[in-house]
Amino acid sequence: MSGHSKWSTIKRKKGKEDEKRGKIFTKLIKEISVAARTGGGDIEANSRLRQAIDAAKSANMPKENIERAIKKGTGELPGVNYEEAVYEGYAPGGVALYIEVLTDNKNRTVSEIRHILTKHGGNMAEAGSVAWMFSQKGQIFVDTEHYDEETVFLTASELGAEDIITEEGLHVITTAVEDFTAFKDGLAAEGIEIKDSELVMVPSSTIKPEEKVAGKVLKLLEALEDSDDVQRVNSNFDIDEEVLRKLEGE
């Protein structure tokens, strides 16, 4: 593939800090509830719900929280009715942004996203302006500390991976959406533990801004991710590991 979701890898390298655990849980609960509402509470018949529960387990969410979120989605318990929406925009340097949200107030959300973009040198774009650059894929992350590159590459290749790269301490495996669940099961059957996984919008090509601009892009991406209504930020941003380490050291 000519592009990959670099931001997804960077996020995982930064880790899920304890002080942000509540925010992470909130996003996961929203996704579980919406998945259950749109596809039912049976994880065997609802692949979106299964993926949401897998993500919640990876974040060490208590079982009772997961069960409660499912019941809110199916209507067994009262809950907020979240709407799905996508907003498109640009970060500094012409980096494209495809922002997925779950919200109970679209007016509030679009206002907040526009404010964040403007504050960090970006701007909103018309619907469809950047969506054509992205296609949905499954991405699976395996820790390099526990599994060497050759083992993961051979196993993933045999299972039919579309792309495999190693960066930021992670083996990143890209799969077709329809193969995503079976692929994770295949890795587990081979004894390879998955650190994390998600469905992301992968760009057809990437942009690698100069160091000064890259720092601004990183701050914008972090600000968007920190928004309560934003579930996932996808971009065609790329950055050299050496530049990333330098910026993180500032």
pLDDT at 220 over 70: yes
Q: Is the pTM of this model over 0.85?
A: yes
> What is the pLDDT, as a whole number, of residue 106?
95
pLDDT at 16 over 70: no
From 31-40, 143-152, 241-250, the region with the lowest mean pLDDT: 241-250
> pLDDT > 90: what percent of the chain?
76
> What is the pLDDT, as a whole number, of residue 3?
60
> What is the pLDDT, as a whole number, of residue 1?
45
Mean pLDDT of 69-93: 95
> What is the pLDDT, as a whole number, of residue 235?
96
Binned at pLDDT 50, 70 and 90, residue 243 comes out as confident
- pLDDT tens digits along 224-236: 999 999 999 999 9
Distances (CA, A) of 112 to 64, 85, 213, 215, 228: 32, 14, 22, 21, 10
Binned at pLDDT 50, 70 and 90, residue 248 comes out as confident
pLDDT at 189 over 70: yes
CA torsion angle 77 80 85 89 (round to 10): -130
What domains can you pick out in the chain, each with its CATH number? 17-74 (1.10.10.200), 83-132+205-248 (3.30.70.980), 134-203 (3.30.70.980)
> What is the pLDDT, as a whole number, of residue 221?
96
What string of H, E and C letters represents the secondary structure of the chain? Answer: CCCCCHHHHHHHHHCCCHHHHHHHHHHHHHHHHHHHHHHCCCCCCCHHHHHHHHHHHHCCCCHHHHHHHHHHHHCCCCCCCCEEEEEEEEEHHHEEEEEEEEECCHHHHHHHHHHHHHHCCCEECCCCCCHHHEEEEEEEEEECCCCCHHHHHHHHHHHCCCEEEEECCEEEEEECHHHHHHHHHHHHHCCCCCCEEEEEEEECCCECCCHHHHHHHHHHHHHHHCCCCEEEEEECECCCHHHHHHHHCC
- pLDDT tens digits along 125-174: 999 999 999 999 999 999 999 999 999 999 999 999 999 999 878 899 99
Q: What is the mean pLDDT of the chain?
A: 91
> What is the pLDDT, as a whole number, of residue 20?
61
